[in-house]
Amino acid sequence: MRLTFLGTGAAGGVPFYGCTCPACERARGDSRYARRPCSALLESGETRILIDAGLMNLHERFPPGTLTAIVLTHYHPDHVQGLFHLRWGVGDTIPVMGPPDSAGCADLYRNPGLLRFQVLRKFEPLNIGPFKLTPLPLIHSKPTFGYAIEDTGGERIAYLTDTVGLPSRTKCFLREWRPVDLVIDCTHPPQAPSPGNHNDWDRALATIDEIGSARAWMTHLDHSLDAWLLEHRPTLPQGVRIATDNTDVTLAG
Amino acid sequence: MRLTFLGTGAAGGVPFYGCTCPACERARGDSRYARRPCSALLESGETRILIDAGLMNLHERFPPGTLTAIVLTHYHPDHVQGLFHLRWGVGDTIPVMGPPDSAGCADLYRNPGLLRFQVLRKFEPLNIGPFKLTPLPLIHSKPTFGYAIEDTGGERIAYLTDTVGLPSRTKCFLREWRPVDLVIDCTHPPQAPSPGNHNDWDRALATIDEIGSARAWMTHLDHSLDAWLLEHRPTLPQGVRIATDNTDVTLAG
């Protein structure tokens, strides 16, 4: 299976509108450092699953028939805003699976257009093509799922945004399930004054340590974390990497 | 004053996702025929007002300090979806004026970021730089205002989307106010089976006739109207034009 980071940014992305910090200026000068809305593409054979829909050009990027399904972590606008346009069309419907959230976002449920929303239940696996995705509750300001993703070859990756820490049942599941790769919310620099709904650097590292995956990818970075990384250039623990837009994780057992 | 059509499309725009009608195929082959979310830029001297915020690249298109204000017709996603990203930033706030609508759209009111939402009242003029904008109630599925726009030189333009017909008080106001230019919702081909919330071709022409402006611009076109125009090539009444993206109306008295 292959998982490609389409976006690795927090709400607002990098560059952050109007910000002149070193990280934002670097991203303005070199688009390889830009971070778009946090999302990923999961592929194996003919199956293509979009995880989160915050990119605003989905209707141009994914012509009809190119997505098997869209799986949502939650209904905050930076994770669903690309659906507002994508929904209006003709042809085959697009399944959109996500956590139970009666509010959804704006009028997506009332005017779904091509989208067919389906509610997932925590810890009840969903099969799409060669993938089994198990929804894992996270800790966020809206109902939010991470996903334990396994393919028929037994390869395993856990995708966990947006969250601050992990609920104990999710943590227990992951410690037993033992993903090879862990993708984890790492939004703020260490000890941010009020991390709120997202991990800071220290909590992300602690979570990686607790789960014990061989490799881990930090994603959902705020511009302030990129600026902190530029200033401090910390040594990363073995196997831990900072995700960037358009890089991929290819698993081979 | 100058008014530039940034977008002239209905929800979904042209090309419509997955559609292979002649109008959609034409727009795919030649982007001059594409229609983006209905919106316009109003300029005079240093004052730049964005009317509606459905374009999804506003944060890239309008660097900080380049917009004096954003004026909304209503809070449907295709008219505000560009605000979801634009709001996250640092620096000067951006005034966003619109009709009274306690729901707004998704979490824009709760998490306004840089945006400063202000509620307008019908027929109570708003002054921004050299412009006086008078909010005019329209007939739509959400509280919606059109705007009677006048500059200090006495030039007048009425911008009326989204609407099906006009409330009688708005119609009376406009007949007395006598705009030189009228921009009017014209979404559907004639006698669309259920025009719903928008003018069809016949009703747009009837409204232009009732207001009696010297010139009129049809906007907010659905792909089905573009296809109908391609097939029927109707003769337009004198002074009536079909707006296209990136064309402008320059008024000189």
The structural domains of chain B, with segments of one domain joined by +, span 2-243
What is residue B253's three-state secondary structure? coil
What are the pLDDT digits (tens) for B101-142?
A: 999 999 999 999 999 999 999 999 999 999 999 999 999 999
CB of B15 within 8 Å of any CB in chain A? no
Give the helix ranges, DSSP H, for chain B: 22-29, 58-61, 77-80, 83-86, 168-177, 201-211, 223-232
CB of A62 within 8 Å of any CB in chain B? no
This prediction's pTM: 0.95
Supply the pLDDT for residue A237.
95
| Preceding peptide of A162 cis, ω within 30° | yes
Give the helix ranges, DSSP H, for A30-139: 58-61, 77-80, 83-86
CB of A90 within 8 Å of any CB in chain B? yes
Those residues of chain A that have pLDDT short of 50 are: 253
Please enumerate in sequence order all residues whose Cβ is within 8 A of that of B29, keeping only pairs 6 or more positions apart, or say none: none
Q: Which residue of chain B is at minimal alpha-carbon distance from A91?
A: B18
State the smallest CA–CA distance between residue A214 and chain B in angstroms: 35
Best CA proximity match to A67, nearest among A39, A35, A34: A39
Contacts of A11 in chain B (CB under 8 A): 88
Report how many Cβ contacts below 8 Å link chain A to chain B. Answer: 85
Contacts of B67 in chain A (CB under 8 A): none
Assign domain A2-243 to its CATH architecture: 4-Layer Sandwich (3.60)
User: Are B85 and A78 within 8 A, CB to CB?
Assistant: yes
CB of B41 within 8 Å of any CB in chain A? no
Contacts of B106 in chain A (CB under 8 A): 77, 105-106
Mutation target vs B (from A39, A76, A84; most B CBs, 10 A cutoff):
A84
Could you tell me if A2 and A248 are in contact, meaning their C-beta atoms sit under 8 angstroms apart?
yes
User: Are A114 and B17 within 8 A, CB to CB?
Assistant: yes
What are the pLDDT digits (tens) for A67-78?
A: 999 999 999 999
CB of B19 within 8 Å of any CB in chain A? yes
Contacts of B91 in chain A (CB under 8 A): 17-19
Question: Following DSSP, what letter does each residue of B156-224 receive, concatenated?
Answer: EEEEE-S-SS--HHHHHHHHHH--SEEEEE--B-TT-S--TTS-BHHHHHHHHHHHT-SEEEEESB-HH
Residues 148-207 of B with CB under 8 A from A: none
Could you tell me if A216 and A239 are in contact, meaning their C-beta atoms sit under 8 angstroms apart?
yes
User: Are B84 and A81 within 8 A, CB to CB?
Assistant: yes
Of B19, B81, B88, the CB nearest to A90: B19
Supply the pLDDT for residue B253.
42
CB of A110 within 8 Å of any CB in chain B? no
Could you tell me if A134 and A121 are in contact, meaning their C-beta atoms sit under 8 angstroms apart?
no
State the smallest CA–CA distance between residue A178 and chain B in angstroms: 36
CB of A81 within 8 Å of any CB in chain B? yes
Q: Which residue of chain B is at minimal alpha-carbon distance from A19?
A: B90
Q: Which residue of chain B is at minimal alpha-carbon distance from A93?
A: B18
Those residues of chain B that have pLDDT short of 70 are: 192-195, 252-253
CB of B60 within 8 Å of any CB in chain A? no
What is residue A19's three-state secondary structure? coil
Number of Cβ atoms within 10 Å of the Cβ of B66: 9
Q: Which residue of chain A is at minimal alpha-carbon distance from B19?
A: A90
